[in-house]
Chain A
Amino acid sequence: MEIRTDFNDRMSKLNNEIVKMGVLVEEALDKAMDSLINMDLDIARKVIDEDQKINDFEISIEDRCIVLIAREQPVAGDLRRIITALKISTQFERMGDHAVHIAKGVIRLDKDPKPSPLFGMPLMAQKAKSMLRRVLTAYIDRNAEEAMSVSQVDHEIDSLHDEVINDVFNELMITVSDHHKAITLLFINRFLERFGDHITNICEWIIYSVTGEHKELG
């Protein structure tokens, strides 16, 4: 006979919430990039408005975790799983904020009639999205090796981030002196780079959840 079924059900619900929140973050990143590539302000505003849903998920996940800790006094793997869910929800919330920052950047860029070059940023977003999908699967499967492997992609995003800085500097600041646009693009570049960092943090927490060991991957 399986025991602690109620606790196991509550843990499954917690995991479902994490996955749902992750999917919302992925959509926010998608839409933010869509608004950037197509200079679509309606989509940009949608990203800003819909961030509240992501924030609500964070609070709901926190509440679930607090109730589980208070009522079930979890230890060992159960405790590590709950703490990991709590930590992941914080990372997701920050990623949602970064999507909002990108969307706000799009609104600022729109004031300039000339189209903006995006350099390696769409590719950075693609890589971040792929990391996000893989990290959600690693979380559900409790796969520490996959989490480790996902975190390696962050180096590629970091390299692209550095390349974009050079491109913006060379093509916008030196050549045409469009400092306003350059600064906005550098901010967007920075927010995309942060996506990779947050996913790497999630990878570290998945490894902790599975093994009980803290591993610095950044």
Chain B
Amino acid sequence: MEDKNILNLKNLNVYYGDFRAVKDINLDIPKNKITAFIGPSGCGKSTVLRAINRMNDLVDGTKTEGEIIFQNRNIYNPEVDAVSLRKQIGMVFQKPNPFPKSISENITWGAKINSYKGNMEELVEESLKEAALWDEVKDKLNENALRLSGGQQQRLCIARAIAVKPEIILMDEPASALDPIATLKIEDLMKTLCMDFTIIIVTHNMQQASRISDYTAFMMTDDKRSGNLVEYGKTSELFIRPKNKQTEDYISGRFG
């Protein structure tokens, strides 16, 4: 990869109890790019995503082996605080999950618990503008966030994630619950956001991966149902001339 890397996954293995969900993943995530993980259901792509900000720690019986190097250290080192790590590596989920509070409180919540010293109003405006939501909500910042449409709620969640100034934003199927227009808005937004952040997305939608990502990782399960990395490379290469037959069959819709 000629781009500068922000994250290195080295021999990453994730176990749920005795079951090895993810097997020996090695890859580098380039900075300020969009990297997409694709693959059939159960191939471990969300597990890898959740390993990147230690969300798997919250699941009982999960064991992670190998290393994820971020800012020159393994995020699984005992001295790394998972909560502050998640401030630097934020996450947006499949279903928009705003807090049942006002739009502006959704933005300021993270700042408050991180003892943010700056101007809260400015932070709200800046974050909403960056998430391409400001024009739609600037006159109703005190309204309950749950009154927004699904697409607006998801952009609010993105605004909430970027308000704490992370380095990386993880997105797990961020548009799968949205209509096509709201989906395209999120995709446009991701393209803009990757100037300031690194984005890693898991998606079932291969057209979405081919439209928006710079790099694509294709994962599959082996005969023991463990997810492994089949092919990883520039999206423009992988969708035109994949090197692996399994990748070709999957992206051409011939299985999965």
Contact residues in A for B84 (Cβ distance below 8 Å)? none
Partner of A80, one of B210, B240, B251, B255: B240
Minimum CB–CB distance from B60 to chain A (whole Å) comes to 38
Q: Are B239 and A75 in contact (CB under 8 A)?
A: yes
Q: Are B241 and A75 in contact (CB under 8 A)?
A: no
Q: Are A76 and B251 in contact (CB under 8 A)?
A: yes
Q: Is B207 an interface residue (CB 8 A)?
A: yes
Minimum CB–CB distance from A8 to chain B (whole Å) comes to 9
Give the 5 A-B CB pairs with smallest separation, nearest first. A212-B241, A75-B239, A76-B248, A75-B251, A78-B252
Q: Are B255 and A3 in contact (CB under 8 A)?
A: yes
Q: Is B206 an interface residue (CB 8 A)?
A: yes
Smallest Cβ-Cβ distance to A79: which chain B residue? B240
Q: With A75-B240, A76-B240 as given contacts, are A4 and B251 in contact (CB-CB < 8 Å)?
A: no
Q: Is A115 an interface residue (CB 8 A)?
A: no
Question: Per-position contact with B for A71-98: 1 when CB-CB < 8 Å, else 0?
Answer: 0011111111000000000000000000
Question: Per-position contact with B for A50-84: 1 when CB-CB < 8 Å, else 0?
Answer: 00000000000000000000000111111110000
Q: A4 to B239, alpha carbons, bound, how many Å?
A: 18
Q: A171 to B21, alpha carbons, bound, how many Å?
A: 81
Q: Is B233 an interface residue (CB 8 A)?
A: no
Q: Is B224 an interface residue (CB 8 A)?
A: no
Q: Are A4 and B207 in contact (CB under 8 A)?
A: no
Question: Per-position contact with B for A176-217: 1 when CB-CB < 8 Å, else 0?
Answer: 000000000000000000000000000000000001110000
How many residue pairs between the two chains, A and B, have CB atoms under 8 Å in the bound complex? 34
Partner of A73, one of B207, B241, B242, B254: B207
Number of interface residues of B (CB under 8 A): 14
Q: A79 to B41, alpha carbons, bound, how many Å?
A: 25
Smallest Cβ-Cβ distance to B248: which chain A residue? A76
Number of interface residues of A (CB under 8 A): 14
Minimum CB–CB distance from A206 to chain B (whole Å) comes to 15
Q: With A212-B240, A212-B241 as given contacts, are A77 and B252 in contact (CB-CB < 8 Å)?
A: yes
Q: A76 to B252, alpha carbons, bound, how many Å?
A: 7
13 of the cross-chain contacts (CB-CB < 8 Å) are A3-B254, A4-B253, A7-B253, A74-B252, A75-B210, A75-B239, A75-B251, A76-B239, A76-B240, A76-B251, A77-B248, A80-B241, A211-B241
Mark out the residues of chain A between 1 and 26 whose CB falls within 8 Å of any chain B CB in the assembled complex: 3-4, 7
Question: Per-position contact with A for B217-256: 1 when CB-CB < 8 Å, else 0?
Answer: 0000000000000000000000111100001100111110
Q: A74 to B206, alpha carbons, bound, how many Å?
A: 11
**Interface-centre pick from A3, A75, A79, A213 (highest chain B CB count, 10 A):** A75
Minimum CB–CB distance from B256 to chain A (whole Å) comes to 9
Minimum CB–CB distance from B227 to chain A (whole Å) comes to 22
Contact residues in B for A80 (Cβ distance below 8 Å)? 240-241
Smallest Cβ-Cβ distance to B245: which chain A residue? A77
Smallest Cβ-Cβ distance to B210: which chain A residue? A75
Smallest Cβ-Cβ distance to B241: which chain A residue? A212
Q: A4 to B249, alpha carbons, bound, how many Å?
A: 11
Smallest Cβ-Cβ distance to B251: which chain A residue? A75
Minimum CB–CB distance from B147 to chain A (whole Å) comes to 35
Q: A213 to B242, alpha carbons, bound, how many Å?
A: 12
Q: A213 to B241, alpha carbons, bound, how many Å?
A: 8
Contact residues in A for B251 (Cβ distance below 8 Å)? 75-76
